[in-house]
């Protein structure tokens, strides 16, 4: 199969109601030839993630001072004990700025793709930068601390904002002390209630007396622990277990903090038949699914394991309710199956994975086949959760390469409506992993650049780059999208479209991409095709919120000249003609930038008579379609002719004479 891929389609968005990042995935209904990206900009996705974080955030002590420092000095360095919510506070501070320009971005010092903190091109106009060193060791903190002054200065110059999270017990130089804000944990009760409200638990419920909640909050708790407790209360409420009130939910949430390790081991030892263990494992992997799904998936697991079929007559065997009772589970009033103890499902998954290692590849095959089942109760959320639970076991035990191989299998295998989404979910779990995120970013880079794009893999990589990587790591996403775009052929260019959308969010990204396409190109003809889309004259001449337009920078002018020269040399006129026409239209309307736009085109022709004549012919043809009127088009064409004549060493011709075209081919 070749590396060509085409545009893909997807429906609308989804809602996040839990902890951590939000990644929006959408089901595909056919193969990649009928799919396309969701179309939401990375900035919008990042802002949505930060907005959801803000909704469940309670200001820690010292947050007001942090806000003041960030507004007055464009920089704040957060200090505080572990568990005080420093990273969340940093993100909320940046979200509250509501900049009209720039993007949110997490800096990754030490990452081989990340430029140094002192690099002048690191900060873009209006950017919101997060440098989270909260878990750095003292050697790492000392290394990056030296560059903070230069980074802070760059942020000020670009009207950007920088929030740094420093490690506990870290030290600061005297020149950085004025930007330090110390925060401490907010009231635990208020944090818990904010999370419960976020989970849509009515206040008349959580204001009831709950001894287990009070017991939990009596001990010092990190913000993450409180959020996790609130989420367990939410799950207990949805399970409808007795006692079914707030005090009972809190008791279940408290008990769910147990690992249930010995209880699970005892249950597995007691339920030693294949059907019992298959039902136990299936219930854990599909916890909360409808009983019909549990029944079918359990039977599918037995078939996957090639277990002989039970010869007992259907009416003589145990019904599903009895079998569920044997494994300490039951179906609730809504027909959905859950274990009787909260958190028991996670313990069962861990037990089977750790103590039956030969089962692991078969579980992956079973998950694949289960996700493909056609059942109205098997929702997209349930399929996503199944992949996540499987991925968690791979990552928990350090098997990230095996998870990547599974994503590869799902992405490149035979076409099926659910396989691409499964691959996306698996890769996203790897990318959001603190321990293995860098490994997966490198893997995605290698796949985008070199791997055969069989099956739906190109679509999978496109979605991962645009919806998972770009919101927080736009530079890395941009590089990977460029490699995908270089491999596109034919009329549809979804990766190039996504790349254009991404660079449109930041002048810094556009500058960096122009540099890569013109100064560091290993495939001039291919990159010339991409250059025409990235080198849009309108954003180049529009300063937006910056002090000056990109095209006013001499370095960008050099990139533009080099890029257009490659276009004129390597691409046919039919391909670049509409882009040159847009360039000339912009010149007619650009006022102060008119001469510069024309100069760059003429310089790109490098005194080649054929190229100059072709440019002149394009200008003549574009005159009637200039938005500001044909008179402006005529003026632009005459000005272009003067510059062409000067480049060829000819005497300038009066504009009104409308002379023959310059030496070369006739228009």
Segment 155-211, tens digit of pLDDT: 999 999 999 999 998 899 999 999 999 999 999 999 999 999 999 999 888 888 899
CA-to-CA distance for 362 and 207, rounded, in angstroms? 47
* Backbone torsion region of residue 343, taken as left when φ is above 0, otherwise alpha when ψ lies between -120 and 50, otherwise beta: left
DSSP state of 60: P
Helix 419-431 with 360-371: angle, nearest 10 deg: 130
**381 is written with which tokens?**
């959320």
CATH of domain 59-182: 3.40.50.300
Given a contact cutoff of 8 angstroms between Cβ atoms, the answer to whether 166 and 141 are in contact is yes
Number of Cβ within 10 Å of residue 634's Cβ equals: 19
* Per-residue confidence (pLDDT) for residue 26, from 0 to 100: 34
- Counting Cα atoms < 13 Å in the Cβ hemisphere of 43 gives 17
Q: Is 32 helix (H, G, I), strand (E, B) or coil?
A: helix
CA-to-CA distance for 162 and 148, rounded, in angstroms? 10
**217 is written with which tokens?**
């909050």
How far CA 580 is from CA of 412, 529, 583, 665, in Å, comes to 39, 13, 5, 17
- Taking the mean position of all CA atoms in its chain, how far away is CA 18? 17
DSSP state of 650: P
Residue with the two structure tokens 């002590």: 61
The b/e string for 274-306 (b: 16+ C-beta within 10 A; e otherwise) is ebbbbbbbbbbbbbbbbbbbbbbbbbbbbebee
Burial class (CB in 10 A: 0-12, 13-18, 19+), 522: exposed
pLDDT digits (tens, 9 = 90+) for 634-658: 888 999 999 999 988 876 554 444 4
* Backbone torsion region of residue 545, taken as left when φ is above 0, otherwise alpha when ψ lies between -120 and 50, otherwise beta: alpha
| Ranges in the chain, pLDDT < 70 | 1-40, 311-316, 651-667
- What are the sequence ranges of the domains in the chain? 59-182, 195-255, 261-340+343-378, 418-657
Give 417's contacts (C-beta < 8 A, 6+ positions apart): 27, 28, 29, 30
The alpha-helical segments, DSSP class H, found in 305-379 are 320-326, 344-355, 360-371
DSSP state of 454: -
* Per-residue confidence (pLDDT) for residue 9, from 0 to 100: 34
Number of Cβ within 10 Å of residue 247's Cβ equals: 13
* Residues, the chain: 667
Residue with the two structure tokens 């991962």: 464
CA-to-CA distance for 356 and 278, rounded, in angstroms? 13
CA-to-CA distance for 6 and 33, rounded, in angstroms? 6
- Taking the mean position of all CA atoms in its chain, how far away is CA 388? 16
CA-to-CA distance for 85 and 88, rounded, in angstroms? 5
Phi then psi dihedrals of residue 304, to 5 deg: -65, -35
**String of DSSP letters for 69-115:** HHHHHSEEEEE--TTS-HHHHHHHHHHTT--SSS-EEE--TT-TTSP
Q: What sign does the dihedral 122-556-474-448 (CA atoms) show?
A: negative
Given a contact cutoff of 8 angstroms between Cβ atoms, the answer to whether 177 and 91 are in contact is no
**22 is written with which tokens?**
């939000």
**DSSP β-ladder status, 104-106 and 337-339:** unpaired
**147 is written with which tokens?**
């560059």
């Amino acid at each position: 199969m070749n590396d060509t891929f085409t545009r893909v389609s997807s429906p609308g968005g989804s809602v996040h109601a839990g902890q951590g990042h939000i990644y929006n995935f959408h089901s595909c209904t056919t193969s990649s030839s009928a799919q396309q990206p969701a179309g939401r900009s990375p900035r919008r996705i990042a802002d949505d993630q930060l907005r959801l974080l803000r909704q469940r955030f309670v200001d820690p002590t010292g947050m007001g001072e942090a806000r003041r420092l960030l507004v007055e000095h464009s920089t704040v360095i957060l200090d505080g004990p572990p568990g005080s919510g420093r990273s969340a506070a940093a993100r909320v501070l940046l979200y509250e700025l509501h900049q009209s320009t720039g993007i949110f971005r997490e800096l990754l010092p030490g990452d081989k793709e990340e430029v140094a903190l002192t690099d002048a091109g690191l900060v873009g106009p209006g950017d919101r930068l997060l440098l989270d060193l909260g878990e750095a060791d003292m050697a790492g903190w000392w290394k990056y601390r030296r560059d903070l002054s230069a980074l802070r200065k760059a942020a000020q110059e670009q009207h950007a904002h920088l929030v740094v999270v420093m490690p506990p017990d870290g030290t600061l130089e005297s020149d950085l002390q004025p930007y330090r804000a110390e925060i401490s944990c907010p009231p635990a009760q208020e944090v818990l209630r904010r999370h419960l409200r976020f989970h849509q638990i009515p206040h008349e419920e959580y204001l009831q007396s709950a001894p287990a909640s009070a017991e939990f909050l009596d001990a010092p708790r990190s913000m993450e622990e409180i959020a996790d407790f609130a989420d367990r209360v939410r799950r207990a409420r949805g399970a409808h277990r007795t006692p079914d009130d707030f005090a009972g939910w809190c008791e279940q949430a408290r008990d769910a903090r147990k690992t249930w390790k010995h209880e699970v081991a005892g249950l597995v030892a007691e339920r030693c038949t294949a059907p019992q263990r298959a039902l136990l494992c299936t219930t854990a992997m599909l916890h909360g699914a409808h009983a019909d799904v549990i029944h079918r998936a359990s039977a599918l697991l037995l078939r996957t394991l090639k277990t002989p079929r039970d010869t007992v007559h259907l009416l003589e065997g145990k019904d599903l309710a009895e079998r569920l009772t044997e494994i300490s589970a039951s179906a609730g009033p809504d027909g959905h199956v859950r274990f009787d103890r909260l958190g028991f499902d996670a313990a069962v998954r861990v037990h089977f994975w750790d103590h039956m290692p030969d089962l692991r590849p078969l579980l992956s095959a079973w998950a694949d086949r289960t996700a493909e089942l056609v059942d109205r109760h098997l929702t997209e959320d349930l399929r996503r959760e199944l992949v996540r639970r499987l991925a968690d076991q791979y990552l928990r035990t350090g098997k990230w390469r095996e998870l990547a191989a599974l994503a590869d299998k799902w992405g490149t295998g035979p076409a099926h409506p659910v396989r691409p989404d499964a691959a996306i979910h698996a890769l996203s779990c790897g990318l959001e992993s603190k321990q293995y995120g860098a490994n997966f970013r490198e893997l995605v880079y290698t796949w985008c650049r070199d791997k055969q794009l069989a099956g739906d893999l190109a679509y999978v990589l496109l979605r991962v780059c645009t919806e998972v990587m770009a919101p927080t790591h736009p530079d890395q996403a941009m590089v990977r999208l460029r490699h995908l775009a270089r491999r596109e052929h034919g009329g549809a260019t979804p990766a190039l479209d996504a790349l254009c959308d991404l660079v449109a969010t930041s002048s810094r990204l556009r500058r960096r991409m122009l540099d890569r396409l013109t100064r560091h190109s290993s495939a001039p003809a291919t990159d010339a095709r991409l250059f025409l889309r990235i080198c849009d004259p309108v954003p180049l001449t529009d300063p937006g919120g910056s002090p000056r337009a990109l095209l006013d920078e001499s370095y960008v002018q050099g990139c533009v000249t080099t890029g257009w020269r490659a276009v004129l040399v390597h691409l046919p006129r039919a391909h670049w003609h509409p882009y040159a026409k847009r360039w000339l239209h912009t010149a007619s309307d650009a006022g102060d930038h008119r001469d510069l736009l024309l100069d760059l085109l003429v310089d790109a022709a490098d005194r080649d008579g054929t190229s100059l004549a072709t440019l002149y012919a394009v200008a003549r043809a574009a005159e009637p379609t200039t938005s500001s009127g044909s008179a402006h088009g005529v003026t632009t064409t005459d000005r272009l002719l003067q510059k062409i004549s000067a480049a060829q060493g000819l005497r300038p011709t009066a504009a009104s004479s409308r002379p023959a075209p310059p030496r070369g081919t006739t228009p």
